Structure 1
Amino acid sequence: MKGFSPNGTTYHLHLSVRGALRDFTKRQLKGMFRFEDGRECTAHEAREHLYGCLAQGKEVLPFGPACDGFDFSGGGCPGHDTPLAEVLGQSQMAPEIPG
């Protein structure tokens, strides 16, 4: 497991395919994915897609586009160093520097 960098580390969220198949209701599955033409999938189509992902060896799926180094076999996002300026810009505790 990668440790935290001195600046900060960003981790992207991912979905457990098996967990979604086991725990999601039809209502939660409906519209989970979209076809290229923009149409939302039915619950049955979402379930078929998730089973297809497992058949391809994909245990997890990213929320949004896959980041660099994303491990579909279960590891998900490996973590990405966040520059200190970005960490301070996002932090509510960032000190103000008198001008």
Structure 2
Amino acid sequence: LFLHYLPDPLIRGSPADRLTWVAWDQYEQRGTSAAVNIHIQCSPGYLYDLAAPEMCAPCGPGSFNLPELMDQTQCIPCPAGAFCDAPALTASTECAPGSY
């Protein structure tokens, strides 16, 4: 069983944090209900901003967010020897030799 949660972008408010369902078997016998926690995943380069839970915010210049992170509540500072000169980056760029 695979579930994919796509909230309606026109609906305001916080996204769901828990999804509950009931499964039926082939004989239409009701099974037990189940629930799963939903982890909010923002687009790569964005983070889930707890101060503004209705939207994802871009990582600011000087930081980035890896696409494979499941917990996107913070951006990663750009490391020494690299730069992050735009918002919503998914990786840092190494500085050219002789520059910093």
TM range (shorter): under 0.3
Greater fraction helix:
1
TM-score, normalised via structure 2 length: 0.23
Larger radius of gyration: 2
TM-score, normalisation: structure 1: 0.23
User: Which structure shows the higher strand fraction?
Assistant: 2
- Does 1 or 2 have the higher relative contact order (CA < 8 Å, sep 6+)? 1
